[in-house]
Amino acid sequence: MTIYKNLLKNKPLLTVKENAREVVINLVSCMCDNTHTWTLKKNSDGDFKITTHSYAFRNFQTKATKDEIEWEADDGNWNVVFDMINSGTSQIRSVRSR
């Protein structure tokens, strides 16, 4: 079984520290179990901004827009954020926050 399929069947427990200023999300793609990293970091206004590093946001094909995910993160609705991210072609493997 691929890592991606295993994550679909057995979702990991994902937690974010309260009042986190940075959240790093590790993803596994449905294409050959390729791995990617997203970073959500608070800007000077205290709002989260997503960085998908060397990949375009659209490559992940989430059903939510970048703004929708950032707004949910701003409100601290992390389970909603995780569901939005998992709606695309990748599954979250792990989350770290500080």
Domain count, the chain: 1
pLDDT (tens digit per residue) in 5-27: 999 999 999 999 999 999 999 99
Q: What is the CATH number of the domain that holds 34?
A: 3.30.457
- With a CB cutoff of 8 Å and minimum separation 6, the contacts of 92 are 7, 12, 14, 25, 26, 27, 82, 85, 86
Beta strands per DSSP E along 31-76: 35-42, 48-51
Token reading at 74: 């701003």
CA-nearest of 21, 6, 22 to 92 is 6
pLDDT (tens digit per residue) in 27-60: 999 989 999 999 999 999 999 999 999 999 999 9
pLDDT number for residue 64: 98
Token reading at 11: 């979702």
Q: Listing from the earlier edge strand, what are the strands of the sheet with 90-97?
A: 48-51, 35-42, 22-29, 90-97
* pTM greater than 0.85 (yes/no): yes
Question: Is it the case that residue 65 has pLDDT exceeding 80?
Answer: yes
Half-sphere exposure of 72 (CA within 13 A, CB side): 15
Full domain range(s) for residue 29: 3-97
